[in-house]
Structure 1
Amino acid sequence: MKEREEAGVAILELSGKIMGGPDSEKFSSTLKQLIHEEKTRVLIDLGKVTWVNSTGLGILISGYTTMKRNNGEMKLLNVSERIESIFMVTKLASVFESYKDETEAIQSFVTD
């Protein structure tokens, strides 16, 4: 997982498969650290993610909930068709705001 910041938005670039385990701990602790640093605008880049299982979905939902509870926002970027279909089947497409363009995604935090 890579972390960077653009225009006050923390961008977390995930890669590979999101299936729980040590990666979920790192993701969770990174979000908590961002909240501690008062960085509550988070964009999750899934462009290099090849698969998400049910545990991985739980990790994303938990992250979303954690940010909301702390008056923050978490949005998604570069969701592949394969993962988008999982979101559609599980009805999570209506929960997560998703963008294909990073600039548009970053601007959405300002206009919300």
Structure 2
Amino acid sequence: MKIDKRVRDGVTILEVEGKITIGKGDVALREAVLAALGEGAKKLLIGLGRVSTVDSSGVGELVSAFTTVTNRGGKLKLVNLPPKVTDILQITQLITVFETFDNEDEAIASF
């Protein structure tokens, strides 16, 4: 899994590519979120457009990231969810927990 970080209009964007699965994928996401928080980020946007697979561990890591960011006074939102990820979040009813957006401009404007 690969994560590219950039900042746009005060929003830290983590673009995830590959699989968010048990092992390296979930750990990499956790480390990227914690690093962004450590740098003072309060507005995080996770781009999932290039994610091919998310397993239960990956879903758990998304929830953990949301909780960690929220508990530190920040906001975490998701953008460009592929159909597979949307389906998983709907089945688990987590789609109601996350604010999700179809495009980056809309997501950034929502902060």
Q: Structure 1 residue 27 and structure 2 residue 33: aligned?
A: no
Aligned partner letter, 2:99 = E
Query: After the TM superposition, which residues 33-44 of structure 1 pair with which residues of structure 2 at under 5 Å, given as runs?
Result: 33-44=35-46
Instruction: Using the TM superposition, name which of 20-29 and 80-89 deviates more.
Output: 20-29
Query: After the TM superposition, which residues 1-112 of structure 1 pair with which residues of structure 2 at under 5 Å, given as runs?
Result: 1-109=3-111
Q: Which runs of 5+ in 2 are unaligned?
A: none
Query: Between the two proteins, what is the percent identity of the paired residues?
Result: 37
CA distance in 2, matches of 1:78, 1:49: 10
Native 8 Å contact 2:25 2:58 kept in 1: no
Aligned partner letter, 1:7 = D
CA distance in 2, matches of 1:89, 1:23: 21
Native 8 Å contact 2:42 2:75 kept in 1: yes
Q: Which runs of 5+ in 1 are unaligned?
A: none
Aligned partner letter, 2:95 = A
Runs of 4+ more than 3 Å apart: none
CA distance in 1, matches of 2:52, 2:109: 26
| Pairwise CA distance, 1:77 | 0.5
Native 8 Å contact 2:43 2:75 kept in 1: yes
TM-score of the pair, normalised by structure 2: 0.93
